[in-house]
């Protein structure tokens, strides 16, 4: 296999850093697309994108904070134009499962004239250990909306492995993959598994979306972050179609998707849920 030059946008994030590691282990030349890297990549500074794309063959795209937010569509349109100028051969876009706004961004990539793969992911396991749910878990009280939603949480290790396959193998060109874990859980189920594995008492409290939003405002979280979280809880978790379990991970990787329990055991062993 010849070495490829691959730009990983969001290369320090949850999926990106794992993709970078896997590609480097396979001997590929990886450029980490982040504000701190050189050349830097910043979604808010499109004048720097051409330099980040220069000399690259393929690009992994993850948009921060989410493809659903205002401004994402225009940014993806601009990036695709720059990618065409740079003669990029392949785009792999991380998208959200069941997000209508994200699907508009997907269409830009699909109709770009560049080979592509779309990777739609369900909610990440790692939201409980590397994102906004970690602090409430450490505090021992987790209050969340959509308590009855059945969620097929997916592991970012699987997302990264699928993205690497999509970047390196042309047989994935033109495909849209929907990535989920092997089963569904409610938030209460998930918190109970984490509590048991970390030998802690963690209380789960069901709340409404407006109540959750009010709690975030009292915590002085940014309004755009609150909007996004409310959107995800309403449009994504509130849609029963997003409870579907798919077998795309097994189809692509030749093994079963990582189960939430395996993620919990692995993560509990790091001690991250026992820091207080």
- Residue-wise pLDDT for 55-109, tens only, equals 999 999 999 999 999 999 999 999 999 999 999 999 999 999 888 889 999 999 9
Radius of gyration of the chain (CA): 19
Whole-number pLDDT of residue 241: 87
* Domains of the chain, residue spans: 5-123+155-180+243-257
The CATH T-level fold of domain 5-123+155-180+243-257 is: Rossmann fold (3.40.50)
Distance CA 98, CA 183 (A): 17
Judge residue 201's burial from the number of C-beta atoms within 10 Å of its C-beta, 0-12 exposed, 13-18 middle, 19 or more buried: exposed
Q: Please give the pLDDT value at position 100.
A: 85
Res 276: pLDDT: 61
> What's the rounded Cα separation, in Å, for the pair 107 and 68?
13
CB atoms within 10 A of CB 86: 19
What span, in angstroms and rounded, lies between the C-alpha atoms of 19 and 272? Answer: 22
DSSP 202-217: -EEEE--HHHHHHHHH
Residue stretches of the chain with pLDDT short of 50: none
pLDDT at 250: 98
Given phi > 0 = left and psi -120 to 50 = alpha, else beta, which region is 113? left
pTM summary value:
0.96
| Closest among 18, 251, 237 to 122, alpha carbons compared | 237
Which residues are registered as beta bridge partners of 92? 60, 117
Distance separating alpha carbons of residues 127 and 39, to the nearest angstrom = 29
Helical (H) or strand (E) element with 5:
strand 5-9
């Amino acid at each position: 296999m010849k070495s490829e030059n691959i730009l990983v946008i969001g290369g320090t994030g949850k999926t990106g850093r794992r993709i970078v590691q896997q590609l480097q282990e396979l001997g590929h030349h990886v450029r980490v697309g982040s504000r701190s890297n050189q050349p830097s990549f910043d979604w808010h500074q499109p004048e720097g994108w051409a330099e980040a794309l220069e000399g690259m063959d393929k690009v992994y795209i993850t948009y921060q904070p989410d493809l659903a937010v205002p401004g994402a569509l225009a940014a993806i349109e601009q990036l695709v134009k720059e990618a065409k100028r740079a003669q990029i051969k392949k785009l792999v876009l991380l998208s959200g499962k069941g997000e209508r706004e994200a699907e508009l961004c997907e269409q830009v990539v699909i109709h770009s004239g560049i080979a592509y793969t779309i990777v739609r992911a369900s909610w990440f396991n790692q939201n409980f250990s590397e994102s906004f749910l970690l602090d409430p878990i450490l505090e021992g009280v987790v209050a969340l909306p959509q308590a009855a939603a059945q969620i097929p949480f997916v592991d970012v290790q699987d997302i990264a492995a699928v993205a690497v396959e999509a970047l390196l193998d042309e047989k994935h060109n033109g495909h849209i993959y929907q990535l989920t874990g092997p089963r569904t859980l409610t938030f209460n189920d998930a918190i109970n598994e984490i509590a048991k594995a970390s030998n802690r008492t963690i209380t789960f409290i069901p709340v409404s979306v407006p109540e959750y939003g009010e709690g975030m405002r009292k915590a002085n979280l940014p309004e755009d972050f609150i909007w996004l979280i409310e959107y995800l809880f309403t449009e994504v978790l509130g849609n029963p179609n997003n409870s579907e379990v798919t077998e795309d991970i097994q189809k692509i990787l030749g093994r079963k998707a990582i189960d939430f329990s395996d993620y919990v055991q692995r993560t509990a062993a790091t001690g991250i849920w026992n820091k207080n």
